[in-house]
A and B are shown apart, each in its own frame.
Chain A
């Protein structure tokens, strides 16, 4: 069987090789590799499309091994493994310990803060920050509720996606 993967690589030399290595080692075939360095994700990583071929067990092993080496698999056969959630917080962001806010978000299972943008106001209590979160597919609703809880805890206005 064939699997079409989209991997997320750091834009540094040797990353592609690291990703391809386990595939050959486990006896799966590489059918195609599409690598466009100028297309970047939110975090500055490069998405790479790889089509591999092999029996089901081998392919599963390949997926595990790639993930073990720390390379993100974003998509498997067109199905996103992660989704991006954007949220905006308004309030005294800095006084309320920004690092702690990010930590609280990162503590939610399967969630990682991918991007953070801060805009200070003349009135510190009216500062705003936009946070982009990556979460496991299908957990959006739960994650949004948790973000709201964190906002309430810190006295922020939470502006979530619809």
Chain B
């Protein structure tokens, strides 16, 4: 399978590393050859129809910060759409940074690939949160596969889990902790009694929170995931603006200690149900499935037949997220 990788940040490099680690195993088990023919970052691209050397690609990125410096096959300034036009490939992996204003450049990349009859795997929440129905329709119209397990909960299985493992069940609602950064901050605040600002600083120093933490702490990232789950699992037709969003920046040590006195923890919860799409700080019982610490994600799916099913997993991380992408690639391969 010839693969085009758009985006070579943390997730993109994770994909390259996972391909490197698992290549032989996957070839043996599934007869699938993972051939990375193009990789793109802000600087440009590395393109080799015979397949890029993953080790060299990762080293080049590490040393120069640019895939376009890849020896012989690197090209500076080439755009994503240009790469998709020039390269012969079967599957696009779109992992450029999430943009919740207009979903670009990922939206154009994905639509172009689908239009050209290519399968698409993505972790990018922007296009999914803004244009879910258009993407699903375009995939259907062009007869291509479109998978996005990594967009919600990183390594925590949820989308394919709901579609495949729970097939036959009607999913009535989903409640979950869908953002690892905020869960880390709230867990630390509960443990240390520290202020929000202090804890955010600590998380930033540890690389758990971004320099501009808005998307995480104001609930925007979790809201994107709520939209994705609502569309893909509850079969609703909604976008980002339909979600009521409240973040954690107003949470105080006082409120956490009051909650604790009554046996509760405060968590940023995403709620997906036919009558409510919401991201807000909520009280959860200590000792309940939602009482997970650190950067873990968790989701409880309420179903008609299986009652409640809860999944937990690492919500972020380069290799962890790449694992979900790899599983999407393999499942596409299995249908061929």
Q: Give A158 to B251 CA distance when docked, in angstroms.
A: 10
Across the interface, do B250 and A88 meet the contact criterion of CB distance under 8 Å?
Answer: no
Q: Give A18 to B41 CA distance when docked, in angstroms.
A: 79
Across the interface, do A117 and B264 meet the contact criterion of CB distance under 8 Å?
Answer: no
Of B230-238, B277-285, B308-316, the segment with at least 4 beta carbons within 8 Å of chain A is B277-285
Across the interface, do B261 and A159 meet the contact criterion of CB distance under 8 Å?
Answer: no
Of B103-111, B140-148, B252-260, the segment with at least 4 beta carbons within 8 Å of chain A is B252-260
Cβ of B246 under 8 Å from chain A: yes
Residues of A62-120 whose CB lies within 8 A of B = 86-88, 90-91, 117, 119-120
Out of B250, B258, B269, name the residue touching A157 (CB < 8 Å): B250
Residues of A114-162 whose CB lies within 8 A of B = 117, 119-121, 126-130, 132, 157-162
Question: Which chain B residue lies CB-closest to A132?
Answer: B262
Smallest beta-carbon distance B283→chain A, Å: 5
Question: Which chain A residue lies CB-closest to B271?
Answer: A162
Cβ of B290 under 8 Å from chain A: yes
Across the interface, do B246 and A88 meet the contact criterion of CB distance under 8 Å?
Answer: no
Q: Give A120 to B257 CA distance when docked, in angstroms.
A: 12
Cβ of B175 under 8 Å from chain A: yes
Across the interface, do A87 and B283 meet the contact criterion of CB distance under 8 Å?
Answer: yes
Across the interface, do B283 and A128 meet the contact criterion of CB distance under 8 Å?
Answer: no
Cβ of B266 under 8 Å from chain A: yes
Q: With A86-B264, A86-B283, A90-B250 as given contacts, are A162 and B269 in contact (CB-CB < 8 Å)?
A: yes
Out of B258, B271, B282, name the residue touching A130 (CB < 8 Å): B258
Across the interface, do B281 and A157 meet the contact criterion of CB distance under 8 Å?
Answer: yes
Across the interface, do B252 and A128 meet the contact criterion of CB distance under 8 Å?
Answer: yes
Across the interface, do B254 and A126 meet the contact criterion of CB distance under 8 Å?
Answer: yes
Across the interface, do B257 and A119 meet the contact criterion of CB distance under 8 Å?
Answer: yes
Question: Which chain B residue lies CB-closest to A121?
Answer: B254
Across the interface, do A117 and B258 meet the contact criterion of CB distance under 8 Å?
Answer: yes
Across the interface, do A162 and B290 meet the contact criterion of CB distance under 8 Å?
Answer: yes
Chain B residues with Cβ under 8 A from A158's Cβ?
Answer: 280
Out of A129, A160, A162, name the residue touching B175 (CB < 8 Å): A162
Residues of B256-303 whose CB lies within 8 A of A = 257-259, 261-262, 264, 266, 269, 271, 280-284, 290
Q: Give A87 to B280 CA distance when docked, in angstroms.
A: 13
Chain A residues with Cβ under 8 A from B246's Cβ?
Answer: 157
Across the interface, do B257 and A159 meet the contact criterion of CB distance under 8 Å?
Answer: no
Smallest beta-carbon distance A43→chain B, Å: 14
Chain A residues with Cβ under 8 A from B269's Cβ?
Answer: 162
Q: Which of A132, A157, A159, A162 has its CB near the most chain B CB atoms (within 10 A)?
A: A159
Chain A residues with Cβ under 8 A from B259's Cβ?
Answer: 88, 130, 159
Chain A residues with Cβ under 8 A from B264's Cβ?
Answer: 86, 161
Chain B residues with Cβ under 8 A from A86's Cβ?
Answer: 262, 264, 283
Q: Give A158 to B259 CA distance when docked, in angstroms.
A: 12
Across the interface, do A128 and B282 meet the contact criterion of CB distance under 8 Å?
Answer: no
Q: Which of A88, A121, A158 has its CB near the most chain B CB atoms (within 10 A)?
A: A88
- List A residues at the B interface (Cβ < 8 Å): 86-88, 90-91, 117, 119-121, 126-130, 132, 157-162
Instruction: Return 17 A-B CB contacts under 8 Å, by A number.
Output: A86-B283, A88-B258, A88-B259, A88-B266, A90-B251, A117-B258, A119-B258, A121-B252, A126-B254, A130-B258, A130-B261, A159-B259, A159-B266, A160-B282, A161-B283, A162-B271, A162-B284
